[in-house]
Amino acid sequence: MKPESTGTDYHLPAGYSAVAYDEIDSTNEAAKRSAVCQGGDHMVGPTWFIARSQTAGRGRRGREWVSESGNLYASLLLRPGGSAGEAAVLSFATALAVAEAIELVTGVTGKLACKWPNDVLWNGGKISGILLESASGKSGALDWLVIGVGINVAHFPAGTDFAATSVAAEGFPQVSPTDLFAALAERMANWLETWRQAGFPPIKDAWLARAAGLGETITARTGTKTGGEDISGRFEGLGPDGALLIKLEDGSMREILAGDVFPAEVGA
């Protein structure tokens, strides 16, 4: 798992570095290992870890992320300070960066949507997933944050709970993971700067402008395979912390902090 390059081949925004692997277990793991190795060295700038393939790619809620070569696997290691709760909204900023990066490399507009909490859809099919992991010190302040991004570039998995697609399947087989990564790194730096300067409100507005199912009846599935509940109602918006707001039939509002969202008829 020796890195094959240290990012000099990549065009990165100022202040960012990258470590690239041909194959690795998981770019999130590589980033976490590096964070732990660096200890409390907060002088180390934001670093991308990218790989052509992963042998143990991870998705949200303990799921596997199939990671054959041809797709994009990248994780950004940050030390943003603040609490894990404050930084959690960066998943929405990342979804916006992914959608904009895909638009930049394909020239397509109006087809990319954001699905709560942090998926990106093209024509209703999942094209990207995002996995945030973090560790906090004794004071409660974040020690490090890793934002993992998987984008289906050349192929997508079959038989998933929610329909999937890829950049190639949508008519752009010429797009490479490397081109897409350059666009992602640039858009991500932009949204991170917005977050630093203005916090969540502008990110929330931009995300809601692209939100799949806003104003429609949806089902949020909370908990795990063995427990949890299905909550159906009208998707009203996001709370100040990024929670999903659903208006139930009796008019009351539910705040969902973690789960998966389906159109009502699928989730039923």
Q: Which residues contact 59 (CB under 8 A, 6 or more apart)?
A: 65, 129, 131, 150
Are 47 and 152 contacting, i.e. CB atoms less than 8 angstroms apart? Answer: no
The yes or no reply on residue 233 touching ligand BTN (CB under 6 A) is no
Q: Out of 54, 152, 219, 232, which residue is the one contacting ligand BTN (CB under 6 A)?
A: 54
Rg of the chain in Å (alpha carbons)? 18
Q: By rule CB under 6 A, what string of x and - marks binding of each residue 136-175 to ligand BTN? A: ------------xxx-------------------------
Q: Which amino acid is at 228?
A: G
Start-to-end C-alpha separation, the chain: 44
**Closest CB to ligand BTN among 156 and 233?**
156
The yes or no reply on residue 63 touching ligand BTN (CB under 6 A) is yes
**Torsion-angle region of residue 47: left (phi > 0), alpha (psi -120 to 50) or beta?**
beta
Residues 64-93 that bind ligand BTN (CB under 6 A): 65, 73-75
Q: How far is the CB of 151 from ligand BTN (least distance, A)?
A: 8
* Residue 189: alpha-carbon gap to chain centroid: 14
- The DSSP 8-state label assigned to residue 190 in this structure reads H
Near ligand BTN by CB under 6 A, which window of 10-18, 20-28, 185-193, 242-250? 20-28
Q: Which of 81, 72, 79 is nearest to 46 (CA)?
A: 79
Residues 94-133 that bind ligand BTN (CB under 6 A): 119, 129-131
SS3 216: coil
Q: How far is the CB of 19 from ligand BTN (least distance, A)?
A: 13
Q: How far is the CB of 237 from ligand BTN (least distance, A)?
A: 22
Which residues are at the interface with ligand BTN (CB under 6 A)?
A: 26-28, 54, 57-60, 63, 65, 73-75, 119, 129-131, 148-150
